[in-house]
Amino acid sequence: MYQIPSQPEFWDSASVITKDPTPIIEGQSEKFNRVKSVLEPFNISLEMMKDIGDRLTAEMVKGLDKATHAEAKVKMFPTYVQSLPDGTERGDFFALDLGGSNFRVLLVQLLEGEVKMESKTYAIAKEIMVGTGDQLFDYIADCLNEFKTEQGLGNKSLPLGFTFSFPCKQLSLKSGILVTWTKGFTAAGVEGKNVVDLLMEACKRRGVDIDVIALVNDTTGTLMSCAYTDHNAYVGLILGTGTNACYMEDVNKVGTWEGDGNARQTIVNMEWGAFGDDGVLDDIRTEYDRNVDETSLNRGKQQYEKMISGMYLGEISRQVMVKLVQSKLLFNGVSSKELDTPGKFETRFTTDIENDKSNNGTDVAKILTDLNLKPSLEDIELVRVICHSVAKRAARLAVAGLAAVTKRVQRDDRPEVTIGIDGTLYKKHPLFKQEMEEMMKLLVPGVKVNFMLSEDGSGKGAALIAAVACRLHNNKVQ
């Protein structure tokens, strides 16, 4: 008799949350033992998480040290953001947000006790993403010009925060060099260039008047937007299409600092997606991770990100399914053109599958039939287990790194640490929040850690960074 279990975590090796190991299909234990062996590499135990955190800590030190920075994969770039919001920031600001296939322009008004925002989203065509840098930045300038006109601010130049969510080495608060494209972008002539200069040149070509105050990473913006209301916020995290983290660090621990000699602290943009690019995570990576990397646009790069972020989880799950079909453990060994096509099983499907609590797996069945598959109830449950295993590994890998960062910022006068988080994966996938909160308690005992959803870090946060920069500048001239 077939029974769908309430929780499919029947082979979790972390003893604190091990569920009943009884096979979920009576009389089919041999089959599920075979599936278990295929999924075993996705099982990340508590001890493994601690070890991964230790590895990341070593990489963080390497990135911060001037002598080893050049060879470090986790770059630990100082952002030159030296202060968190204190709540006195006021004024009108523009923000640009480029971090994926959609681009936003915003007008942010910081009022006493209130933040007002107007925004417009523009799609970026694939041919622009993979075209030239001039095409990309001309398009951004055109979008900004259109938005300014619609807001009745066509001739007005407000302070602007530019959120550019790709690995950059910042030279100052308002200048930075693109290290490498990620997330499907390959626009020529941008890597190795100052992206603010490219934006300014495009705006000049298009006759758009702008005043760029700050170049912002979305992770930094996430931290700033949370710190505006929670003064215990010292860490920012993105869990969406990509993943990254930042935190507030003492300047005397940042060997690559080239800014104000009197500065005491700066937000460090970790660019932790590249953790593992030098092989330190090879024992964690699976054959599916290697396949995803081999077929990616940025082969050999962003290995940590490729095991965690929304751009890849659906594809990893698909590849596991294909392997089980080939082993005749799924769909009676019969695949479909859609399942065999890379990218067809989207990460949003894994979220929908995790959210489907019905006994007969109605939503799961629809996703699979839309892929021209003919799932049995047994297949539906197996797909649930596959997606759950892949997502749980992602959550545990993310929290392993996050615990290492939390230990870095925690000190006696900070018994409480708030982590600002943004990204659709964390917001929409039901497993991440619960798993990360549970594991953080075990990885960083004795510290009260709060997870706080960011309110538009890439928009509001960018404006806040520009506002803080204006406040600090005004304080100096007074």
pLDDT in tens, 242-296: 999 999 999 999 999 988 878 899 999 999 999 999 999 999 999 999 999 999 9
- Is a pLDDT exceeding 60 seen at residue 119? yes
What are the distances in angstroms from CA 30 to CA 25, 27, 37? 10, 8, 11
460 pLDDT tier (thresholds 50, 70, 90): confident
- Is a pLDDT exceeding 90 seen at residue 29? no
Which helix (H) or strand (E) segment is 449 a member of?
strand 448-453
The rounded radius of gyration (Å) of the Cα atoms in the chain is: 23
- Please give the average per-residue pLDDT across 58-85, as a whole number: 95
- Is a pLDDT exceeding 60 seen at residue 18? no
Helix, strand, coil % over all residues of the chain, rounded to 5: 45, 20, 35
Helix axis angle for 377-409 and 29-39, nearest 10°, is 30
Question: Which percentage of the chain shows pLDDT scores above 70?
Answer: 93
Tens digits of residue pLDDT in 368-380: 999 999 999 999 9
Active-site pick, 55, 83, 104, 458: 104
444 pLDDT tier (thresholds 50, 70, 90): very high
Against a cut of 0.75, is the pTM above it?
yes
**Phi-psi map region of 226: left, alpha, beta (phi>0 left; psi -120 to 50 alpha):** alpha
1 pLDDT tier (thresholds 50, 70, 90): very low
User: Is 165 marked active-site?
Assistant: yes
Active-site pick, 218, 277, 289, 379: 218
Q: What is the pLDDT of residue 73?
A: 97
CA diameter of the chain: 79
Q: What is the pLDDT of residue 54?
A: 98
297 pLDDT tier (thresholds 50, 70, 90): confident
- Is a pLDDT exceeding 80 seen at residue 20? no
Which helix (H) or strand (E) segment is 206 a member of?
helix 195-206
Active-site pick, 165, 309, 389, 458: 165
Q: What is the pLDDT of residue 99?
A: 83
User: Which has more confidence, 112 or 356?
Assistant: 356
User: Is 209 marked active-site?
Assistant: no
Q: What is the pLDDT of residue 7?
A: 40
User: Is 55 marked active-site?
Assistant: no
476 pLDDT tier (thresholds 50, 70, 90): low
Amino acid sitting at position 167: P
386 pLDDT tier (thresholds 50, 70, 90): very high
Which two tokens mark 274? Answer: 């590249």
Q: What is the pLDDT of residue 169?
A: 87
CA distance 77 to 100: 21
What is the DSSP annotation of 278-327?
Answer: TSTTTTT--HHHHHHHHTSTTTTS-HHHHHHSTTTHHHHHHHHHHHHHHT
Q: What is the pLDDT of residue 266?
A: 94
- Please give the average per-residue pLDDT across 11-31, as a whole number: 42
CA distance 258 to 16: 46
Looking at the chain, the number of H-run helices and the number of E-run strands are 15, 13
Q: What is the pLDDT of residue 440?
A: 97
- Is a pLDDT exceeding 70 seen at residue 199? yes
Q: Which residue's entry shows tokens 């659906």?
A: 314
